[in-house]
Amino acid sequence: MQFPISNQKRNLAWHNFAVVLCGLFTLAAILVSLHRFWQYETQYYDFGIFDTAIRKVAKFQPPTIDHFIVEDKLIWADHFHPAIFLLSPLYWFTSRSEVLLIVQAVAVGMSGYVLYRTAQFVLKDNLLSLAVLVSYLLFVGLQNALITDFHEITVATLPLMLTYWAVLTERKRWFVFFFVLTLAFKELLFPLGLGLSLFVYLYRPSWKKLAALAAGYSVLWGVVTMKVIIPYFSGGLYQYAPKATSLGELVGQLFSPMIKLKTTFQIFWSFLFLPLLYLPTLPIIFLNLGMRFISGSNNHWDLGFHYNAELAPTLAISTVLALSLLQKKLPKPVVVGVAGLLILNSLVLYRFVLRGPLALAYNPAFYAHTQNFRYLDELVARVPAGKSVMTQNNLAPRFTDRHVKLLRANYQDYQPEIIVLDLRDGQNPNNFMGVPDIQEVLQRIQVDPAYTVLYQEGQRYIFARK
C-alpha cells in the first residue's frame, strides 16, 4: 500500500538534493584546485600576490607585493580590493597557502545554495530552481575561475548572489550591506554597481531612492579608487584604463576579433539563452562584456581564467527571472520542458562541447599526476628557512611566508639570499615570465662569485649568496 508524500517532505528531499549538488561541486573544486597547487600549476601571478598580501595583514604587516609594474609597493598600487583582507584571520590558524583555494571553492558553493533558495522563493517550483542551480554550477566560465589560482572576483560571487537575494526577497538593509561588500572586492566592479542599481530601480520601484543612492555610490567608488587611491599608492599610475584613443577605435575593439562574439554566444548558450528574455539584467551583462572586450589582453576575451565569475550570478538570476516570466505566459508542462532542456543543455556543454575542468575531479590520471612532482617538493624542502628567495613564477607561491621575488635577469641588483631554479624542458613559458633568456641568467649565476651552489640535481638548482 502506498501513501502520498507530503509537500513538506517532498520539498525537503529537493532541498537536500540541492545541498548535495552544491557539496559535490565544492568538493570537486577543492580537489582540483589543491592538486593543481601540488602540481605547481598555481603561480605567483596572481595567487602568490594575493597570498602574500593577505598573509602579511594577518601578521599586522603592510601588504607589499612583488609586481613587475608597481614593484615593492602596497597591493593597492595595482588594484583596490579591501574586502580580501576579511580572509586574513585564516592565517591565524594555518600557514598553508592552500587555505585560500579551499575558501574560494566554499564561497562559490555557498553562492549556489543561495541561488537555489532565491529561485525557490521566486519560482515556487523545486524542479525549476534545481535546473537553474545545475546551469550555474556547470557553467564553464565559473569552473575556469575556480581552477585558475585565487582571485577576489571569484570569492565575490557569494556577496553578489546575496545582493540579488536581498533584492528579490525585499530585504533592504541586507541589500545595502551586500552591495557595499561586493563592490569592496575590486575597484573595477563599479559598472556592476551601476547595473545593479538600474536592476533595483526596474525590479523594485519602491526602492527608487535606494537605487539612486546605490548608483551614486558606484560612481563615487569608481572615481575615488581609480583616480585617487590607486594612483596615491602607485605613484600616479593606474594601468587598467582603456587604451582606445577614439570612439571609433573603442567600438571596433568591442567586436574584433571574432573570439569576442563567440564568447558572448557561449555565455548565453550556457543558460539556454534565457537571460536574453529578462531585459533589466542585460545592462549588467553587457557592461561586463564591454569592459572586458576593450581590454588589450586576450585573456579577458573568452571563458578562461576568472573573468566570467562576476557574470555567473547575474546570468543565473536572469535565468530565474526569465523562467518566472515564462510561468506567467506558458502552460506549466511547457515551462517544465524548458527546465529539462536547461539541465540537458548544461550537461552537454559541460561534458562534450566546452569540457568543464571540474571533470578532472573524477579522473584518476589527474591524481596520479600529482605524484610526479615529488622531486619539486624535495627541491622546495631543501631551501633554507627564513631567507629571502628569488625564483620562477610556479615556485614562488611556496615561499610567500617570507620575502620572495620573481626571477629577474638583473638578479644581482636585488641580492637575494637564495635563488631557486627548475630548468627542465617543456615547462609553461609563464614560469619564467620577465626573463627573456633563462639559460643566459643561469650561466651568469654559475660564474657569479657572490653565489655558490647549495643544491643541484639535474636541472634543479639552489644557489646561496655567500
At residue 5, does pLDDT exceed 60?
Answer: no
Peptide bond before residue 51 is cis, with ω within 30 degrees of 0: no
Question: How much is the average pLDDT of 313-342?
Answer: 98
Q: Where are the beta strands (DSSP E) in 230-379?
A: none
| Residue 244, pLDDT score | 59
Q: How confident is the model at residue 362 (pLDDT cuts 50, 70, 90)?
A: very high
Residue-wise pLDDT for 79-90, tens only, equals 999 999 999 999
Give the residue extent of every domain in the chain.
21-362, 386-465
Cβ distance 70 to 78 under 8 Å?
yes
Dihedral sign, CA of 298, 303, 304, 306? positive
| Residue 85, pLDDT score | 98
Other CB atoms closer than 10 Å to residue 44's CB: what's the count? Answer: 30
At residue 62, does pLDDT exceed 90?
Answer: yes
What is the C-alpha separation between 183 and 190, in angstroms, rounded?
Answer: 7
| Residue 2, pLDDT score | 46
Cβ distance 193 to 155 under 8 Å?
no
What is the C-alpha separation between 141 and 137, in angstroms, rounded?
Answer: 10
Dihedral sign, CA of 216, 218, 223, 224? positive
Residue-wise pLDDT for 401-440, tens only, equals 999 999 999 999 999 999 999 999 988 989 999 899 999 9
Q: Which of these ranges, 2-16, 38-52, 378-392, has the smallest mean pLDDT?
A: 2-16
Written as nine digits, the cell of 185 is: 572586492
Quote the mean pLDDT of the chain: 95
Cell 566570467: give the residue. 308
| Residue 127, pLDDT score | 97
Per 3-state DSSP, what percentage of the chain is helix, strand, and coil (rounded to 5)? 65, 5, 30
Question: How much is the average pLDDT of 358-365?
Answer: 98
Q: How confident is the model at residue 245 (pLDDT cuts 50, 70, 90)?
A: low
What is the C-alpha separation between 346 and 140, in angstroms, rounded?
Answer: 9
Sheet containing 389-391: give its strands across.
404-406, 389-391, 418-422, 460-465, 451-457
98 closest CA partner among 143, 180, 7, 33? 33
DSSP symbols for 216-243? HHHHHHHHHIIIIIHHHHHTS--TTS--
Question: How much is the average pLDDT of 96-101?
Answer: 98
Q: How confident is the model at residue 246 (pLDDT cuts 50, 70, 90)?
A: low
DSSP state of 351: I
Dihedral sign, CA of 346, 292, 324, 119? positive
At residue 248, does pLDDT exceed 80?
Answer: no
What single-letter amino acid sits at 179?
F
At residue 318, does pLDDT exceed 90?
Answer: yes
At residue 3, does pLDDT exceed 50?
Answer: no
| Residue 431, pLDDT score | 95
| Residue 295, pLDDT score | 80
Question: How much is the average pLDDT of 96-106?
Answer: 98
More confident residue, 3 or 11: 11
| Residue 299, pLDDT score | 84
Question: How much is the average pLDDT of 254-275?
Answer: 93
Q: How confident is the model at residue 1 (pLDDT cuts 50, 70, 90)?
A: very low
142 closest CA partner among 313, 352, 318? 313
Cβ distance 201 to 176 under 8 Å?
no
456 bridge partner residues: 461
More confident residue, 11 or 338: 338
What single-letter amino acid sits at 324?
S
What is the C-alpha separation between 412 and 461, in angstroms, rounded?
Answer: 17
Residue 383 to residues 34, 36, 377, 380: CA-CA distances in angstroms? 22, 22, 10, 6
Other CB atoms closer than 10 Å to residue 300's CB: what's the count? Answer: 18
Question: Directed axis angle between helix 157-168 and helix 311-329, to 10°?
Answer: 30
What is the C-alpha separation between 88 and 53, in angstroms, rounded?
Answer: 9
Q: Which of these ranges, 71-85, 282-296, 303-317, 401-415, has the smallest mean pLDDT?
A: 282-296
The whole-angstrom distance between residue 315's C-alpha and the CA centroid of its chain comes to 16
| Residue 17, pLDDT score | 97
At residue 4, does pLDDT exceed 60?
Answer: no
At residue 139, does pLDDT exceed 60?
Answer: yes
What is the C-alpha separation between 349 and 344, in angstroms, rounded?
Answer: 9
The whole-angstrom distance between residue 242's C-alpha and the CA centroid of its chain comes to 21
| Residue 250, pLDDT score | 73
Question: How much is the average pLDDT of 349-374?
Answer: 97
284 closest CA partner among 163, 399, 174, 405? 163
What is the C-alpha separation between 233 and 27, in angstroms, rounded?
Answer: 38
Question: How much is the average pLDDT of 311-320?
Answer: 98
| 3-state SS, residue 102 | helix
β-bridge pairing 451-457 and 460-465? antiparallel
